[in-house]
Structure 1
């Protein structure tokens, strides 16, 4: 792999703010001369023809001992560090002026606790870039191990060509927290400006699988040589300083062409390379398949994606029978079912008199509600109505909508509460695997805290999910928002007849795509088949 970052540690520098001592050794004792910054720049040119350098690097980062940097800030407000950068810039322009061309010389001085007194670390190279004073950030790059806790890595600027990301001790321009792949692996991001999609490559190329998920908006990187070597999630977020330009098509045929077929720069998973259109369109074969229907056929205009994992598809999405087939070829199943497809997180600020401090939902590695002390991820709402995601990596505040995939193959979706429900609910968590129960037809049932009917769906009927200020752990989480007898329901010809049984019980009707329809009052209400009812923490789907 080419050396994208030239890295060296200069030792035995009596004064780390002495630019001349860092640039070159005074005197003519050539045989005892130690290689310093000027020598390093000469030995590693940016471009060369034969042995002659034709262009040199112009951006250099100096890392000084943190204690010296702190003392300079305390005593002189950082004046010595600024003088050091200005003096080295002048020396650089003086000695390498004929090799700079139109490049601007830029120096940056930072501190690090890993350096001993009298040591200076220098970094320059193809992947080392220092922004201009007025240059705005194009992308913010962050990484995660579980899709919940994201750690910022570095910014990417419009004129910055390369960024090299690695672990601690690696020769990279930025360090990723929790890097799982060892010092020999590196993640390279190529940038051709605001109008071109960034390209992601893992080095070595044949050792990693790099895939972009357009729904989640991040890359998933896995090692091919060590399947148990962990995974890394990479997010490249465009900033508001460079808004997305709307894409227009003048040729209707061109607009229907799959992205992978029309763009030769599509990523290949085995090469460890991926690219994403900054307008939000993934540059991949998977993206073309995601926008295609069964057997690769294009979807009809206006047809939205069907998520069969988080929420079961409605009966209206049932495929038509083929010639010679009928429903009689399938084994009969119960026609009336009620499924718990999501959990609604309440605004605990409405229940301050109960002493509730937090409602926490822990999920195991199968993304089912867990009683284990070490869940894969926990989603929590506190007394201030703030949302948090908690994993082994720590805790981080989140906002809906969001998607969390702490394990492969399954994900949790966090949806914002509809404005009509926002006074009671903060968000809804779509379960990775809905929980269902069959119901008999022609009988009216009751749902509530004191009702045994559908008790298997009341997953939060336990004190372990609710944290109180007094430390008491005897109250069920269902006491927040769910009455003893909340509502009754009965299967009817065109759906389910819903009747509110408690005047204080809030009931909401959501359609088959979990979009708000109406609030349900005391009058009997007909809920269509495949639609949802929100009561307390529970988002129930009624199928006929």
Structure 2
């Protein structure tokens, strides 16, 4: 692999702010002196023909002991560091002017804790670029191990051709947080100009699989023959100050539609209240799904003619609606967190490992949380904490935005059968569909009273339902319970107001009903 970054540490510099001492040693003892910056630039030209240099590198980063840089800032407001950069640029221009062409000489002086007194670290090369003072970034590069928490790596500028991203400063121009590969590997990013998406390649090329996931808008990099955990996600986004691309690139990040804000008529949130002890105890009992009672077959009938009808009438939990906790401050709820396992199933066991979780706090801020930390997110968004599976976070429909922040689609929906002809109820106090009330536990809710998360927005008796040939008959059982009808694409249809067993609301087959945290699909 070519050397994209020349990296050397110069030692025994009496004064690290003395440009002449860094540039060239005094005297003519050419064979006995140690190489300094001028020698390094001369021995490693940017371009050469035979043994003759035809072009010289012009961008150089200097790193001095951090304590020296701090003292300079405290005493002179960084004047010595600026003077060092200016003097070195002048020496560079004087000695290599015929090899620079139209390139501008640029120096940058930084501090580094790892350097000992008298040491100066220099870096230059094909993948070392210093932007001009007024130059705006063209792209921003970030990495992630789980697609939820993204760590910024670097910016790419219009005139910058190459960037080398790796796990250590010694071999790369930029360091990626959480680099899972070896120290001899790196990501090479080639900038073909403002009208094209950068090209991403791995070094060494034959040791990695690097593919662009158009549905997620990022690159997936994995070492060949390694475990699934040894992967890195790379995202390249165009800077807001950059001009739009003039032509579509062959591999373009998938754009994300903006969430549409909406309003609804204000209403006071239902807050749980103290109940008599007998009722409070009964509400905390574990609800068990009611066994389905099959009628005895009539003469001439067999189980084979009846069982398929049971299988075709089902209720499925397909998504979880995350509430606006600011409506429930009186309850003491500070956060609601929904964790998912490495199979992207809901993880109710706090001792088990999680791949990702989604948290909403009492300021209605939404976060994605992983072992790498947590990051603020907005819907719509999609996450791939494990390979080949994505979990989506969708914005709440405008008519529901007063109550909900977002909805999290379940990769593994939960489903249960419903007996025809029976009217059942759904709510905290009802055993029907209890297996679908997956958040009925204090484990998910941060509060001081050890209350179930279902106490937020779900009544003890929320609604009744009955399977019918035309769909499902829905009856609203609590005046404080908000019910919403979504179509088969989970788009808003209506807010269900007055509905009873005698005058039910008809929910078509395949449509959804939202009550509390639960987005339920009713199939007939």
The TM-score range, normalised by the shorter chain, is 0.7 to 0.9
Q: CA deviation at 1:226?
A: 2.8
Q: Is the 8 A contact 2:143 2:150 kept in 1?
A: yes
Alignment map for 1:227-242 (pairs within 5 Å): 227=227, 230-242=230-242
Q: Is the 8 A contact 1:483 1:502 kept in 2?
A: yes
The match for 1:358 among 335, 355, 358 is: 335
Q: CA deviation at 1:228?
A: 5.4
For structure 2, the residue ranges without an aligned partner over 5 or more in a row are: 257-304
Q: Counterparts of 2:91 and 2:224 in 1: how far apart (Å)?
A: 47
For structure 1, the residue ranges without an aligned partner over 5 or more in a row are: 249-262, 267-275, 282-327
Aligned to 2:56: 56
Alignment map for 1:56-205 (pairs within 5 Å): 56-205=56-205
Q: Is the 8 A contact 1:244 1:279 kept in 2?
A: no
Aligned to 1:277: 252
Q: Counterparts of 2:389 and 2:170 in 1: how far apart (Å)?
A: 32
Aligned to 1:324: none
Q: CA deviation at 1:27?
A: 1.9
Q: Counterparts of 1:243 and 1:438 in 2: how far apart (Å)?
A: 55
1:414 partnered with 2:393: yes
Aligned to 1:497: 473
1:217 partnered with 2:194: no
Q: CA deviation at 1:242?
A: 2.2
Q: Is the 8 A contact 2:310 2:418 kept in 1?
A: no
Q: Counterparts of 1:68 and 1:518 in 2: how far apart (Å)?
A: 67
Partner of 1:133, secondary structure, is coil
1:439 partnered with 2:418: yes
Aligned to 1:467: 446
The match for 2:483 among 507, 515, 523 is: 507
Q: Counterparts of 2:384 and 2:372 in 1: how far apart (Å)?
A: 14
Partner of 2:359, secondary structure, is strand
User: TM-score with structure 1 length normalisation?
Assistant: 0.83
User: TM-score with structure 2 length normalisation?
Assistant: 0.86
Alignment map for 1:250-269 (pairs within 5 Å): none
Q: CA deviation at 1:279?
A: 8.3
Q: CA deviation at 1:440?
A: 1.7
- CA deviations on 1:401-424 (whole Å, 9 max, x unpaired) are 211221122221111112211111
Q: Counterparts of 2:236 and 2:185 in 1: how far apart (Å)?
A: 19
Aligned to 2:301: none
Aligned to 2:345: 368
The match for 2:436 among 429, 447, 457 is: 457
**Deviates most, 525-534 or 17-26:** 525-534
Q: Counterparts of 1:43 and 1:528 in 2: how far apart (Å)?
A: 77
Q: CA deviation at 1:372?
A: 3.4
Q: CA deviation at 1:158?
A: 1.3
Q: CA deviation at 1:494?
A: 2.8
CA RMSD of aligned residues (A): 2.0
Partner of 1:180, secondary structure, is coil
Q: Is the 8 A contact 2:215 2:254 kept in 1?
A: no
Q: CA deviation at 1:381?
A: 0.8
Q: Counterparts of 1:229 and 1:160 in 2: how far apart (Å)?
A: 32
Q: Counterparts of 1:480 and 1:280 in 2: how far apart (Å)?
A: 34
Alignment map for 1:291-330 (pairs within 5 Å): none
| Greater C-alpha radius of gyration | 2
The match for 1:339 among 313, 316, 323 is: 316
- CA deviations on 1:161-191 (whole Å, 9 max, x unpaired) are 1110000254100000110111111100111
- CA deviations on 1:288-312 (whole Å, 9 max, x unpaired) are xxxxxxxxxxxxxxxxxxxxxxxxx
Q: Which has the higher contact order (CA 8 A, sep 6+)?
A: 2
Q: Is the 8 A contact 1:181 1:229 kept in 2?
A: no
Q: Is the 8 A contact 2:324 2:403 kept in 1?
A: yes
Alignment map for 1:11-30 (pairs within 5 Å): 11-30=11-30
Aligned to 2:382: 403
Q: How many residues align?
A: 469
